Amino acid sequence: MKRAAFGTILLASAATLWAGQAGFAFLRIPVAARPAALGEAVVAMADDPSGLNYNPAGLPLLRSRQASAGYLNYVSGIQLGTVCYVQPLDASSTAGAALTYLNSGSIKETTLDDPLGEGLGSFSYSSLAVTAGYGRCLDPQLYAGASLKGVYERVKDYSTAGVAADVGAIYEVDLQSLGDRLFKPAKPGNYGTSLALGAAVQNIGFAAKAFVTEKPRMPLLVRAGLAYRPFMDRLTVALAGVKPVDAPVAFQAGGEYWIRGLVALRLGYNGLYGGLQNGSDTDDFSGLAAGLGVRYRAYRLDFAYTPYAGLGDPLRVGIAAEF
């Protein structure tokens, strides 16, 4: 019954495209485990392959070949996956590519007049995004990047396709020099901290093909935030704000703590989902996230748990490798 209800929601979402509202909603669903566990507050710490889907300016921070894959068994059995790869080109630039998909499987069709869908048959919902990106270090503290993606979405017998771009920048604040100037110590100090500021504009583009009779708008997003590492590689605190084209500004926050460089504990809050309420016992947990990362040599395994009010408890799994 829950799956049929979610099928109705999908059809309702598709109907919004006819009214000219933002489409390609799957681009907003966090698939990779690490960003999801951090509340998606990663615009200034996009320092692993999955960061290509948040801020391409993070690409030049990766100085070795790396790959990652993520899988999400979403509400009502809908499945999403992503694969990312990055390749340094020279001492100051890196390229990357990513593929993200969504597949609903067979969903029983229902209507308001026939909520059980007797004799109405079934339908499916599928989406695909293919992304290529490039990032470059412009000076020792400033990084910039851009990516281009092709997107495709199909609901029932209707489909649409489009092209979009992401652009972003990351600036690493020199806290050592700043602290020396502010406090003027007799001898230069060692502050042992790191601060990065990041911003990105995502999904700048257009639909090349109409969905039924109207071309949907791209789900434009503006992200801005910071990542602060008070103990360098052990603890990271990330804060961000995100403004979707068709929703108010939302607050995001996350924290990651590495134990002996082997195990990472993660907590996050994503304001985009904080307002989800349906009277269930999990309403109070909407927007919260928790995760775990395990590192062994050049490999990392990630998990993220994000309660989805009344509809289930999606578990994300990811793996990353450096080679």
The DSSP result for 105-146, as a single string, is: --EE---SS-TT-TT--EE-EEEEEEEEEEEEEEETTEEEEE
Rg over CA atoms, the chain? 21
Tokens describing residue 189:
């100090």
Where are the extended beta strands (E) located within 11-106?
66-73, 79-88, 93-103
CATH of the domain at 91: 2.40.160.60
Tell me the C-alpha distance between 131 and 279, whole Å. 38
Q: Which structure tokens are listed for 323?
A: 């080679």
The whole-number pLDDT of residue 192 equals: 58
Distance CA 145, CA 159 (A): 30
| CA 95/CA 123 separation, integer angstroms | 38
Per-position b or e across 106-143, b if 16+ CB within 10 A of its CB: ebbbbeeeeeebeeeeebebbbbbebebbbbbeeeeeb
User: What local confidence, expressed as pLDDT, does residue 10 receive?
Assistant: 44
| pLDDT for the residue numbered 264 | 97
Residue 176 confidence (pLDDT): 66
What pLDDT score does 64 carry? Answer: 94
Q: How far is CA 154 from CA 75, 109, 151, 160, 179, in A?
A: 18, 15, 10, 7, 54
Contact 323, 65 (CB under 8 A): yes
**Segment-wise mean pLDDT, segments of 10 residues, the chain, 323 residues:** 44 39 84 96 91 96 95 85 97 97 83 73 88 96 97 89 97 73 52 84 92 86 95 89 93 96 96 73 78 96 85 85 93
User: How far is residue 273 CA from its own chain's centroid?
Assistant: 13
> What phi and psi, each to the nearest 5 degrees, are found at residue 49?
-55, -35
Phi, psi (degrees; rounded to nearest 5) at 34: -60, -50
Q: Tell me the two tokens of residue 114.
A: 């026939």
Q: Which domain holds residue 251?
A: 2-322
Looking at residue 174, its pLDDT comes to 78
Cβ-based neighbours of 126, under 8 Å, separated by 6 or more: 101, 102, 103, 104, 153, 154
Of 12, 98, 11, 95, which Cα lies nearest the Cα of 54?
Answer: 98
Number of domains present in the structure of the chain: 1
The predicted pLDDT at position 210 comes to 82
- Report pLDDT for 16: 38
- pLDDT score at 285: 76
Residue 267 pLDDT: 98
The rounded distance, in Å, linking the Cα atoms of 121 and 251 is 41
